[in-house]
Structure 1
Amino acid sequence: MDENKWLAERFQAQRVRLQAVAYRMLGSHSEAEDAVQETWLRLNRADTSDVENLAGWLTTVLSRVCLDTLRSRQSRREESLDLELAHPALDEPDGGDPAHEVLLADSVGSALLLVLQTLSPAERLAFVLHDMFAVSFDDIAPIIDRTPVAARQLASRARRRVQGANEGNQADPARQREVVAAFLSASRNGDFSALLALLDPEVVLRADAFTVQASIANQASGAPRLFPETVGAKNVADTFSGRAKAARLVLIDGLPGAVWAPGGEPRVAFRFAVDGGRITQIELVADPEQIRHFDLTWLEH
């Protein structure tokens, strides 16, 4: 068999798992696909004649590609514009690989992806590889240029933050709903002080590419100019004060949120992360394909 064809077949057998790893690293299907494609290009250029564990080699290369992406993203202070709820396709078996078993058992939703975005690149990589794909700390350490002990500490720190966020999300859903409802009310009424009181000082507002483009197109009508990322309570309060008049309270995949739905058709989804009675993150999603995947329960009409 032609060597290139043989290599391509072995890579294809790992593609589903690699896409799953990259998606959890990056929170974006398009960026994950780019990372997998870059891994394939590096495989083509590399001499793998002495590689005994190709799956492990590919995971290492992919992780380094994702780490570079996360660090670049962090340095630009902007996050992925297409955080998606749909999960990677899982309809192909992976030969009993333990990472695939973890993937099948895992149900990473939007709430966890939002939490993962708050981790440093090294924390996120250590947590995702070890806790979600059973990669050893001995293998993780050289990827992030740390010792195995340091890699373990990074994963442990990330795990505590993820668990803490999950506990916060599950502790009092009624309180979360109250906070989101109060935010919408303050926004509609232009109550700047109330908005500040509801927002964490370091709150982050993220808007997907569709929302950003719509805001640019609607600036002539007085709509605020939105950016991929806005940080700080005052800046976020400025964006929402006197607005969101047509937004309605809903549950988005079971979590309190809001939608702008002129004529009853959801056009923009507002997803919130709440911690300690304050909003720590707001995500605006206007991508029709993503909105179509949301499970919406109307709480306000």
Structure 2
Amino acid sequence: MDTSAIASIPEYVVDQPREEESLCIAVNGTSISYKKSGSGPPLVFYHGWIGDEDTFGLCHKAFARHYTVYRPAWPGYGASGPLTQFSIEDLVDLGRRFIRELGHERVSLFGNCLGGNTAMEFARLHPEMIERLVLIEVYDFLPWYLHLILVPGLNAFLYRLLLRSMTGFHFLNSFLPLQVEGGINGMRYTEEGFRRTPVRTAIAFMTAIYRFAKRRRDFYHAHYHSEIPTIYVEGGRSFGPVKAFREVVEGYFTNLRIVSIPESLHNPVMERPDLFIERVLPLVVPPPMR
């Protein structure tokens, strides 16, 4: 494993925007919205709990110089159709069908936050479909304070109280590294994400992660093993679940590289896209295109 810092490489910085298309595809009866840009081998980005098609929006142009970049929204997020309930395995299967429907056999798969947990399970179940894996600030477990929004009958009320009100948001910010004022881009993406994401969808995703972790965490710790070339990207202010994942990730992947972006908090693709591009893109550019 190589944890060395990556120096700035100006030629990987994008000067001209790439054409971007907003598209929709039916996958197993569910309408999946996605954005597509660039040309080259396929790269698929999985967003996290409060993301959508635009979570990777500040980075896609740089990667689109070398890849065809696909940014799907999970069911109920962005412009995708809803699912009333789903498991992480359901999302993996949906992701597999999405890739097949686009005509691809293998992809580079990026996963951010809880989208990274889904990407990991995808890689475990379908390693033959993954060229490379990039995981960004992944959880090892669901923290106790988020269990509150799983309480039947109270979950929607507690979600609105804790995550959609500024009082609750600032309280939660004492536990989680949630960006309030925005990074170099000036966006209040976390606050906007909680307000934008439908309550039912956010609860369904969190419930799926909770149930998956309850079933699979011990199995992962004991048996998860992958030889897929993998990059793990860590931010600068880790909290419980992310710290725990950082402690075990080296045991999961035999071909692992750690990239640190301490200048960000929890979501470097939104907070410091410039540094994410600078430090990650040189590591994933396909060799013939360097």
Fold conserved (TM > 0.5)? no
TM-score (norm 1): 0.25
TM-score (norm 2): 0.26
Q: Which is higher, the Rg of structure 1 or of structure 2? A: 1
Higher share of residues assigned helix: 1
| Greater relative contact order (Cα < 8 A, sep 6+) | 2
